[in-house]
Chain A
Amino acid sequence: MFRKGTVLVRTAKGPAAAAAEGEGGGSGKGKRVVLTLHDDIIGKAFWDHYDDVLL
């Protein structure tokens, strides 16, 4: 009932760069892009799991 929007994170965790990774360079180069539709980014659990994404 309560969809939570869409989250796209660029993370070094997990498999190597996915198709969504581009050629724009910058600090995110080589990191994998993860898309999710159900994450609760208000809660603490998300940020504990993706503790590196905003750095």
Chain B
Amino acid sequence: MNRCAQAVLAEFGDVVFAYGESDEYSFVLGRSAALYGRRTSKIVTSICSSFTAHYVFLWAQVMGPDTPLLAPPSFDGRAVCYPSLDNIRDYLSWRQADCHINNLYNTCFWALVHGGATAQEAHARLSVTAPCHHCVVLSQPAVST
């Protein structure tokens, strides 16, 4: 994913910033960007297509010849025009907060599984636990790591 994002920045000079987590990447185009006359559909489809193409193109290089790509990957995309830099920072903060929540969930999920719970039991336990309490789940003796 990171190599794909690097390739997108290399291909599209108007992309000034990118943030990726999990299965998503956000690309920020500068206020003065003139890419494709700022036509939304052209920008979204071109970046999405480039990212996906690089994912396939770079797969063997990153994963090695013994790990074949088992299915054709695809990514969807959308564009939002934010009116101010503060709005963009808020958006990026939201994505990083989401990253934190996902990591917290996954860390707790696998701690529970390694502690003897089934995947279903781990999911059931975390689904009734607010993210801010996941660290408490982790600290309980039955799932300590």
Contacts and interface: CB of A to CB of B under 8 A. Distances in A.
B19 A7 contact: yes
B5 A6 contact: yes
Interface centre among A9, A24, A33 (most CB of B within 10 A): A24
Interface string B1-16: 1100111011111111
A28 B19 contact: no
Interface residues of B, number: 38
B118 interface: no
A40 to B, nearest CB: 7
Interface of B: 1-2, 5-7, 9-21, 28, 30-35, 85, 88-89, 92-93, 95-97, 99-100, 103-104, 107
Given A20-B9, A33-B6, 15 more contacts: A3-B103, A5-B20, A5-B21, A5-B96, A6-B21, A7-B18, A8-B18, A9-B16, A9-B17, A27-B33, A28-B9, A28-B30, A41-B89, A54-B16, A54-B28
